[in-house]
């Protein structure tokens, strides 16, 4: 954003007013005493009209937003009857991979009892190595849906390829786009065209602006809503698996007014730090949490070391209820199969 001064205006005065408003302004000098200020992107957001009203300001120009549909979204969004981004945080939890019908059924039962609304679980797994377990595919989708329905839960699961979009869209209430695919515009389009809500994980090195533009792809091509998900970005420090960026979460929630959930499991990779960071995420403005759970992490086919055991999860929810009273609010009564018809 640029603030251009009238000739002869008191540039120091204008700079002081901008600083007072919370704007980092870099002074630019032109010929014949013309002066402008380039406003740094990490400045506080201030209405253009306020800036135009400053004495000595001739003109204020800003780039057109490249994500108009995202900007126009309002809080909360509703996904399969669940409000995300309202006063009550939404819990999404489940195993990294859906491994057996029994595993997902056991987990679903326990989670439903603790106020979880969305059951997560991977049927198609994005893996760095072609030799790693790639997920049980379509049959896992069926197990996941069945377990969710049995306990009145909604389903969030990832679509990894254009080819798998129809099958995933058939069972998911909220279709997940993984970190590795945030920049994959072909997949974004294929998913969006199903008209459902999408959980959009941030790319490992994506700027907030690129993340919002990926959201724009989704809305532009027909997604009914976008829920953003921060899951940690790449860092130079190996002491946590990724670097959780709660500044970005606060930015999305408080400046852009968007629903954003946090995945502390991938962000940290450390089970022992989950409770404090889950509480911090909610304090920063997260609309909910996406947490990996496993009844027996040592048996997990993927990401076991970061999965919470069922007991750990109970402790996490207890801790959240203490810190965030709203989370205790009873969820809507389990909707059961009747609701599925209306999805």
Binding to a second copy (CB under 8 A) within 163-192 occurs at: 163-164, 179-181, 183-187, 190
| Residue closer to a second copy (CB basis): 52 or 343 | 52
Among 173, 230, 245, 292, binds a second copy (CB under 8 A): 245
Q: Which among 261, 260, 228, 263 is positioned nearest to 242, based on CA atoms?
A: 263
Size of interface with a second copy, in residues (CB under 8 A):
116
Query: Inter-axis angle of helices 185-192 and 208-220, to 10 degrees?
Result: 40
**Token pair of 46 as six digits:** 């201030």
| Spatial contact of 314 and 254, defined as CB atoms under 8 Å apart | no
Residues 30-49 close enough to bind a second copy by CB under 8 A: 30-31, 34-36, 38, 40-45
Residues 54-73 close enough to bind a second copy by CB under 8 A: 59-64, 66-67
| Residue closer to a second copy (CB basis): 151 or 294 | 294
Number of CB atoms found within 10 A of residue 139's CB:
11
Residues 73-132 close enough to bind a second copy by CB under 8 A: 126-131
Q: Which listed range, 85-93, 99-107, 113-121, 199-207, lies at the site for a second copy (CB under 8 A)?
A: 199-207
The H or E element containing residue 131 is: none
Residue 255 to residue 247: CA distance in whole angstroms: 11
Residue 47 to residue 37: CA distance in whole angstroms: 16
CA geometry: angle 218, 331, 325, nearest 5 deg: 100
**Smallest separation, CB 334 to a second copy (Å):** 30
**Token pair of 184 as six digits:** 């994959």
| Residue closer to a second copy (CB basis): 31 or 333 | 31
Residue 230 to residue 320: CA distance in whole angstroms: 19
**Smallest separation, CB 320 to a second copy (Å):** 10
**Smallest separation, CB 51 to a second copy (Å):** 11
- Binding of a second copy by 265 (CB under 8 A): no
- Binding of a second copy by 193 (CB under 8 A): no
Residue 341 to residue 159: CA distance in whole angstroms: 22
**Smallest separation, CB 16 to a second copy (Å):** 4
Q: Which residue do the tokens 């679980």 mark?
A: 121
**Token pair of 258 as six digits:** 């968007």
Site track for a second copy across 284-313, x = CB under 8 A: xx----------xxxxx---xxx-------
- Binding of a second copy by 328 (CB under 8 A): no
| Spatial contact of 266 and 302, defined as CB atoms under 8 Å apart | no
**Smallest separation, CB 77 to a second copy (Å):** 20
The CA–CA distances, whole Å, from 209 to 71, 252, 264, 287 equal: 12, 10, 22, 20
- Binding of a second copy by 29 (CB under 8 A): yes
Half-sphere exposure (Cβ direction) of 65: Cα atoms closer than 13 Å: 11
Q: Which listed range, 80-88, 100-108, 147-155, 278-286, lies at the site for a second copy (CB under 8 A)?
A: 278-286
- Binding of a second copy by 330 (CB under 8 A): no
| Residue closer to a second copy (CB basis): 186 or 332 | 186
Query: Residue 187 phi/psi, 5° resolution?
Result: -70, -40
**Smallest separation, CB 109 to a second copy (Å):** 21
**DSSP state at residue 7:** T
**Smallest separation, CB 192 to a second copy (Å):** 10
């Amino acid at each position: 954003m640029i603030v251009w001064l009238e000739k002869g205006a008191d540039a120091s005065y204008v700079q002081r007013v901008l600083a007072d408003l919370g704007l980092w302004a870099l002074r630019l000098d032109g010929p014949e005493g013309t002066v402008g200020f380039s406003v740094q992107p990490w400045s506080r957001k201030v209405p253009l009209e306020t800036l135009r009203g400053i004495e000595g300001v001739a003109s204020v120009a800003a780039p057109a937003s490249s994500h108009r549909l995202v900007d126009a979204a309002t809080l909360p969004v509703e996904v399969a009857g669940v409000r995300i981004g309202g006063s009550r945080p939404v819990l999404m939890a489940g195993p990294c991979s859906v491994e057996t019908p029994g595993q997902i059924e056991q987990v679903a039962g326990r989670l439903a009892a603790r106020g979880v609304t969305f059951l997560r679980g991977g049927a198609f797994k994005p893996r760095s190595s072609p030799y790693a377990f790639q997920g049980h595919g379509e049959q896992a989708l069926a197990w996941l849906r069945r377990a969710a329905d049995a306990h009145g839960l909604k389903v969030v699961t990832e679509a990894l390829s254009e080819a798998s979009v129809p099958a995933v869209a058939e069972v998911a209430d909220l279709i997940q786009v993984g970190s590795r695919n945030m920049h994959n515009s072909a997949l974004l389009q294929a998913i969006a065209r199903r008209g459902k809500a999408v959980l959009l994980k941030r790319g490992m090195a994506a700027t907030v602006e690129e993340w919002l533009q990926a959201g724009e792809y989704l809305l532009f091509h027909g997604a009914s809503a976008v829920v953003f998900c921060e899951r940690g970005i790449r860092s130079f420090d190996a002491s946590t698996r990724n670097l959780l960026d709660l500044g970005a979460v606060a930015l999305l929630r408080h400046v852009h007014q968007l629903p954003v959930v946090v995945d502390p499991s991938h962000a940290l990779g450390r089970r022992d730090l989950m409770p404090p960071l889950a509480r911090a995420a909610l304090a920063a403005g997260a609309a909910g949490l996406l947490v990996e759970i496993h009844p027996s992490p040592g048996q997990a086919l993927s990401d076991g070391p970061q999965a919470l055991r069922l007991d750990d999860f109970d402790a996490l929810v207890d801790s959240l209820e203490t810190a965030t009273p709203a989370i205790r609010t009873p969820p809507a009564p389990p909707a059961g199969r009747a609701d599925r018809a209306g999805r």
